Amino acid sequence: MDDFPVRPLRFDFQELEQSDPVWSRSNPFFSIFINALGVHVPYFERFLVATMREYRGELQDEALRKDVQKIIGQEAHHAFNFVNWTDAMCGHYPGLCRIDEAAKTTFSNALKRDKRYKIGLTAGYETFTFLGGMIILNRYEELMGDADPKLRALWVWHQVEEVEHGSVAFDFYRAFYEQHEWYRKWMVLYAFAHISKETFVAYREMIRPYNFKKRLSAWKFFAGFAFDLATAAIPVLKKSYHPRNHPICNEDQNQVAIAWRRYFDQGEDALRLTNNDITKMLTEP
């Protein structure tokens, strides 16, 4: 979570329009779940960018101000790519554009709320993008060990960066409302409920063509991942909590994240990750 860079990746979405949205062969339901989650999250990311830009000038801590500038950069690039990926998926799912537009409206309206709400919602949501990133990277082989190279690259990049800046929104909230610990906890619960609802709506649309038995299996995966995310959030409700001391965030860093950062820094193509690329990435010193 220290000295993280902004990586201005731009994926080719004309090419991705031809991709199967069920892009993980290791776990097809995971690819549907993460696609569904990714419909509304880019609008939250734009909300985060707008909120932090609005209030960053009031920060007294120079180091935090620099981290805020970097998270703004990372999240702006995430939002650009994932809005375009949703546009590409609209050709596969007839009702998705309507769901996408509703999510956009929700966060546009949220920007009209008061300062504490906006900063609190930012911290609440980032709790789960951080925890989700950790869970997904820790279960990498199970969830996307065999997957479409372009979409795997998109999601690995996103998860690595969500973990990298995982403490910034928390510190941003504390800089303004350290004494309002109860409100932070409330916004964590509020964010979880909102993420679950938004993902549910998009996920339901994506599995609609499946038969009853397959839909049942899909909902079983959805419930299991939501349970894992909720369980991981329990330490977040402690008064002593900080993202850096979360039990799944420690000195034993995720090897995929370490290898991907090295791979990118060496100038390798981070827009595609074939199975051979992953093997090379993980085995090179």
pLDDT in tens, 217-271: 999 999 999 999 999 999 999 989 999 888 887 656 788 999 999 999 999 999 9
User: Is residue 17 in some structural domain?
Assistant: yes
- Write down the pTM of the prediction: 0.94
Which pLDDT does position 206 carry in this prediction?
Answer: 97
The reply to whether 268 falls in a domain is no
- At residue 11's C-alpha, the angle toward residues 22 and 94, to 5°, is 40
Rounded to 5 degrees, what are φ and ψ at 251? -70, -20
Structurally, the chain folds into a number of domains equal to 1
**In 3-state terms, what secondary structure has residue 237?**
helix
pLDDT of residue 91: 86
CA distances to 158, 259, 262, 279 from 285, in Å: 23, 9, 9, 12
Owning domain of residue 70: 13-255
Q: Is residue 145 assigned to a domain?
A: yes
260 within domain boundaries: no
Q: Is 203 inside any structural domain?
A: yes
| Cα gap 169→165, rounded to integer Å | 8
**Could you tell me how far CA 259 lies from the centroid of its own chain?**
19
Domain-located, residue 251: yes
- According to the model, what pLDDT value does residue 251 have? 59
Contacts of 221 (CB under 8 A, 6+ apart): 27, 29, 30, 33
**159-171 core/surface letters (b: 16 or more CB in 10 A; e: else):** bbbbbbbbbbbbb
- Domain assignment of residue 66, yes or no: yes
**Tens of pLDDT, residues 61-104:** 999 999 999 999 999 999 999 999 999 999 899 899 999 999 99
Instruction: Flag whether 43 is in a domain.
Output: yes
Distance of CA 261 to the CA centre of its chain: 17
